[in-house]
Structure 1
């Protein structure tokens, strides 16, 4: 197989074809006119045919040169695009995460940006719990559910642990909330319409799984937690995600029982070489999850 022509010679051909003049091409390339002439002659010898016709007043492209020009332009346009896109990705890390993990993740990313402003992160939130790196241009993602096993690099953040939570004002309202039966007197807040989380916790607690009384459904866990912190009712929350709310007193746990569901939160990234900044970010998030 014939070896490819050298890239510098192709660039010289591209500039020379734009000017059809060795002198102006030399000025743009910051080399001598003789060097331009020698590179073009060497390229023509390598290819086996002429690219320019030498005329008294300058140059003009041969038929072969006219065929070559758009192809070489396309090659350099692709190189320029690659430099721009890859450079942009390395400058800002692209992270995807489901909305349910925002209460934990967002404060940590803000802390990260204060510590490492030189490694910015652009966060995309979604109601989806997974990621497909073959079709989505993210550097990493937080994944909820079972441990991913599709050839990805995976780090476990924490297990999902369900427990009822409410605002301190609910406990101080005078309505009892010490026994499981007391839940019937409160508005129950559901992070999804299937009521699965509440049923799972009540069953583990030994209570009847038929949910009675007032209830309110939300599309995301974060919305249910926000309403619970305002004293609207008692929500079923994920203990692993609401540590900040519990420590600050925005939320409290009326019952001690935490039920592990078998699902969890994972950091996933493609099984390819990762930028050093991404490795550092994922290491840091994994460490923060262990605290």
Structure 2
């Protein structure tokens, strides 16, 4: 297999072919005319044919030179495009988060972009609650569960606290929702198939509902919250995530009891990540979690 020609010589050929003048090419490349001439001669020796006709009145491309020029132009255009694309990606922070935290996280990221348009963030959502930086190329992630203990830099956002939520009209509708027993008359919206969130809260509240029907399951917490805000039924929500829904009146909490599950949301990043922009974003999100979490 024949060795590829050296890239500097190809660049010299490209510049020389565009101006057909060794002197002008030397000026553009910031090297001597002799260096240009030697690089072109070396490239021609490597290829085995001439690229330029040396004439008294200047240079002109040979047939092979004409054939080579668009190909070399394409190569350098691809290199330039690659440099720009990779450079753009390297300045964009890659963040991963589970869908259950979107109601809280997405408005904060939009606010961050308004405050810091120079530090864009690309968000990837997942139904998974963990993160493995050895297999996935992200700068940071939000994880849900117990405190991570496998060597990650960890910042706690907030603890999970379960409480029922519903649309305001359900409180004083045809079937008022004023005491625990009134849940018998409303559809319970479950963000998980196993109904664990509702079961945990009902057990802590000492409530024993007699009916086994009138339930609806959803794949994500966000879907359950959206249906609750439309008056479909009563969902079980995380108090820490629904501050915006409560403050604007989309949702209300019919009962004061909040049940801590021992789970929490954390911001994690791999060891050795030292991007100043990343650290600023994570610290800012932590400040937001402390300032805007309902009390």
TM-score (norm 2): 0.74
Relative to structure 1, the CA distance from residue 152 to residue 25 in structure 2 (aligned partners, 3 Å threshold; closer, same or farther) is farther
Output one character per residue of 1:108-131: Cα deviation in whole Å (capped at 9) or x when no partner: 111111111221212222222222
Output one character per residue of 1:232-285: Cα deviation in whole Å (capped at 9) or x when no partner: 111000000001111111111111111111111111112123322111111110
Q: Is the Cα–Cα contact under 8 Å of residues 188 and 215 in structure 1 kept in the other structure?
A: yes
Consecutive unaligned residues of structure 2, counting only runs of 5 or more, are: 1-5, 55-75
Distance 1:182 1:52 in 2: 87
- Larger CA deviation: 17-26 vs 213-222: 17-26
Counterparts in 2 of 1:147-166, with a 5 A limit? Answer: 147-166=147-166
Q: Which residue of 2 aligns with 1:106?
A: 106
Distance 2:82 2:139 in 1: 16
* Deviation of the 1:30 alpha carbon: 3.1
Q: Which residue of 2 aligns with 1:213?
A: 213
* Deviation of the 1:153 alpha carbon: 1.5
Q: Is the Cα–Cα contact under 8 Å of residues 94 and 122 in structure 1 kept in the other structure?
A: yes
Distance 1:105 1:156 in 2: 14
Output one character per residue of 1:176-234: Cα deviation in whole Å (capped at 9) or x when no partner: 32332221111100011110100111111122377623111111000000010111111
* Deviation of the 1:168 alpha carbon: 0.8
Relative to structure 1, the CA distance from residue 141 to residue 81 in structure 2 (aligned partners, 3 Å threshold; closer, same or farther) is farther
Distance 2:290 2:86 in 1: 32
* Deviation of the 1:137 alpha carbon: 2.4
Distance 1:289 1:119 in 2: 20
Distance 2:210 2:219 in 1: 21
Output one character per residue of 1:11-69: Cα deviation in whole Å (capped at 9) or x when no partner: 545546888999497466331133457899xxxxxxxxx9799x9x89xxxxxxxxxxx
SS at match of 2:240: helix
Q: Is the Cα–Cα contact under 8 Å of residues 169 and 231 in structure 1 kept in the other structure?
A: yes
Output one character per residue of 1:137-175: Cα deviation in whole Å (capped at 9) or x when no partner: 222111111222222221110011000111110001032
Q: Which residue of 1 aligns with 2:272?
A: 272
Distance 2:149 2:274 in 1: 18
TM-score (norm 1): 0.75
Q: Which residue of 1 aligns with 2:63?
A: none
Relative to structure 1, the CA distance from residue 147 to residue 210 in structure 2 (aligned partners, 3 Å threshold; closer, same or farther) is farther
Q: Which residue of 2 aligns with 1:282?
A: 282
SS at match of 1:240: coil
Distance 1:273 1:86 in 2: 18
Q: How many residues align?
A: 258
- Larger CA deviation: 26-35 vs 258-267: 26-35
Q: Which residue of 2 aligns with 1:237?
A: 237
Distance 1:233 1:194 in 2: 18
